[in-house]
């Protein structure tokens, strides 16, 4: 599938911002299964300095530094991307989950690359309730992918998608308790749950194709940033992407921006500003199939 992505972020400030530094994860990551055909960033006002490089996880990262007073800051990324995610293996072909955990724990040639994603992180900390919740999906000896699919489905069924009840600061333990939230919350819940069992799992940010209700037009700008889970199935099978918000294994309806230990590593637009007073934020996203 081929998509055009358009993602606009606009900050409006009550008072002038004298100096602003921003770190962006807004350009899609090129991957064996994701070809980035074109991409561009439009930035207003023009930054005094722009740096494009890879971050520690290999994601495309843009640093912007604005040194003129401004009352608004707007970034629009536009990209054309072709996605063709390989089919996941048969569940039964994947190793038992305990073998995956052991491999990640040992590190070495096979597990070292994935091991980093088995440890608690700031926004996906160790959570005994999340780990206990996950344990049901991983009885002894179960092939890892079977367990992953099961957990993915359970979060999809047992947690309610509800915007506005959680914020960036809502901890996993509270989401476990409320059983509601948005994609970021479910992703962090699943990360805490899998890592508690010693399984490598990473936070993936990007976009998902949405379909309008039957008979209606797609509303412009109504799509959103999305987040889901990458989980490791061992050196032979690599990573599989699971979307607990929609209860699906990712195929060709998701576009990857970046991955990291949690949201904090790859926030689409992070910044520190001097001044500004109160601010308002507007985000609009369109993902159009081509």
Partner 1 sequence: MNDGAAAVEPRDEMVDGSGGLRPHWRPLLGPLTGLGREALADRQRQLDAILAEEGKGSVLPGAEPLARRCDPIPFPIGAAEFAALEAGLVQRARVLSALLDNVYGQQRLLADGVLPPSIVYPNPAFLRPCSVAGPAGPGRRLHIYAAELIRGPDGGWRVLADRTADAAGTAYALQNRRALARVMPELFRLQPVRRLRPFFELWEDRLQRLAPSDAGTPGVALLTPGPADKLWFEHVLLARELACHLVEPADLTVRGGGLFLKTLRGLQPVHVLLRRQDGRTLDPLELEPGTLQGTPGLLDAMRAGRVQVVNDPGVGFAEAPALAAFLPAIARHLLGETLILPSVETLWMGDDAARRRVLPELARWRVRPALDGTMTPMVFARLSAANQARLRARITHRPEAFAVTALLPPSVAPCLGTQGFTPRPVVLRLFLLFDGRDWQAMPGGLARCLSDEEALAGRAPLHTLAKDVWVAAEEEAPRTGVAHLPVVPLLIRRPSGDLPSRVADDFFWLGRYLERLEGGARLLRLALSRLSGSDRAARDRVELESLLACLDRAELLERDAAHGLGADAAAATLLGVAAERGKLAGLLDDLSRLAERLRDRLTEEVYAQLSHGLQGLAALPVGGAAARPRNLEPLARATTNVLSFTAAMAGLAAENMVRGGGRLFLDLGRRIERGWAGAGALAQVLDQPGAAAQPARLEPGLRLALELCDSVITYRTRYVGVLQPAAVLDLVLADGGNPRSLAFQLVAARELLAALPEGQDPMLGMAAAELLAETQRLVADTEAALDQYAAAVLLPEPLRQIRSGIADLSDRIARQYFAVLPVAQSLGVEGEARRLRGMA
Q: Is 238 left (phi over 0), alpha (psi -120 to 50) or beta?
A: left
What track of x and - describes contact with partner 1 for positions 168 through 207 (by CB under 8 A)? xx--------------------------------------
CB atoms within 10 A of CB 89: 15
Binding map of partner 1 across residues 243-262, x = CB under 8 A, - = no contact:
------------------x-
- CA neighbor of 225 nearest in space, from 263, 276, 170: 263
Q: What are the DSSP E strand ranges found in the chain?
A: 2-24, 34-44, 49-54, 60-66, 70-83, 160-161, 180-181, 201-208, 225-232, 239-243, 248-249, 254-260, 269-275, 279-289
Could you tell me which residues are beta bridge partners of residue 119?
none
Interacting positions 50-69 with partner 1 (CB under 8 A)? 51, 53-57, 63, 65, 67
Residue 267 as a binder of partner 1 (CB under 8 A): the answer is yes
Site string for partner 1, 105-134 (x = CB under 8 A): xxxxx-xxx-xx-xxx-xx-----------
- Of 20-28, 143-151, 211-219, 226-234, the segment contacting partner 1 by CB under 8 A is 20-28
Q: Could you please report the per-residue DSSP string of 145-180?
A: HHHHHHHHHHHHHHSEE-TTS--TT--HHHHHHH-E
Options 17-25, 93-101, 151-159, 205-213: segment touching partner 1 (CB under 8 A): 17-25
| Shortest distance in whole angstroms from residue 196 CB to partner 1 | 12
CB of 5 to partner 1, least distance (A): 19
- Output 136 or 280, the one with its CB closest to partner 1: 280
Q: Which is nearer to partner 1, 104 or 193 (CB)?
A: 104
Measured from the CB of residue 177, what is the shortest distance to partner 1 in angstroms?
Answer: 18
- Contact between 226 and 207 (Cβ < 8 Å): yes
Structure tokens at 184: 């970021």
Asked if residues 84 and 1 have their Cβ atoms less than 8 Å apart, the reply is: yes
DSSP codes of every residue in 52-69: EEE-TTS-EEEEEEE-S-
Within positions 26 to 55, which residues make up the interface with partner 1, using CB under 8 A?
48-49, 51, 53-55
Residue among 221, 264, 284, 288 that touches partner 1 (CB under 8 A) = 264
Closest approach, Cβ 100 to partner 1, in A, equals 14
Residue 288 has phi, psi (to 5 degrees) of -110, 125
**Of residues 271-290, which lie at the interface with partner 1 (CB under 8 A)?**
271-276, 279
Residue with tokens 């038992």, as numbered in its chain: 96
Count the site residues for partner 1 by CB under 8 A. 51
Beta carbon nearer to partner 1, 118 or 137 = 118
Query: Residues in the site for partner 1, rule: CB under 8 A?
Result: 11, 15, 18-19, 21-23, 48-49, 51, 53-57, 63, 65, 67, 104-109, 111-113, 115-116, 118-120, 122-123, 168-169, 261, 263-265, 267-276, 279
């Amino acid at each position: 599938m081929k998509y055009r992505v358009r993602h606009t972020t606009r900050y409006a400030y009550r008072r002038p911002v004298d100096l602003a530094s921003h770190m962006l994860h807004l350009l899609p990551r090129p991957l064996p299964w994701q070809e980035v055909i074109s991409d561009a960033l439009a930035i207003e006002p023009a930054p005094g300095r722009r740096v494009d490089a890879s971050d520690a996880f290999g994601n495309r990262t843009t640093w912007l530094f604005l040194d003129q007073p401004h009352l608004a800051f707007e970034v629009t990324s536009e990209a054309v991307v072709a996605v063709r995610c390989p089919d996941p293996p048969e569940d039964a072909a994947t190793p038992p989950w305990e073998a995956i955990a052991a491999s990640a724990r040992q590190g070495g040639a096979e597990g070292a690359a994935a091991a980093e994603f088995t440890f608690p992180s700031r926004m996906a900390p160790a959570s005994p309730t999340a780990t206990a919740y996950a344990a049901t999906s991983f009885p002894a000896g179960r092939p890892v992918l079977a367990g992953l699919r099961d957990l993915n489905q359970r979060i999809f069924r047992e947690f309610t998608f509800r915007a506005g009840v959680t914020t960036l600061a809502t901890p996993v333990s509270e989401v476990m308790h409320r059983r509601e939230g948005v994609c970021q919350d479910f992703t962090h819940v699943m990360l805490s749950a899998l890592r508690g069992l010693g399984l490598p799992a990473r936070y993936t940010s990007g976009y998902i194709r949405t379909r309008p209700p039957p008979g209606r037009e797609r509303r412009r700008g109504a799509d959103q940033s999305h987040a889901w889970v990458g989980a490791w199935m061992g050196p032979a099978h690599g990573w599989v992407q699971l979307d607990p918000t929609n209860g699906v294994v990712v195929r060709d309806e998701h576009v990857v921006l970046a991955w990291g230990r949690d949201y904090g590593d790859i926030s689409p637009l992070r910044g520190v500003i001097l001044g500004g007073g109160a601010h308002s934020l507007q985000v609009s996203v369109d993902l159009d199939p081509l």
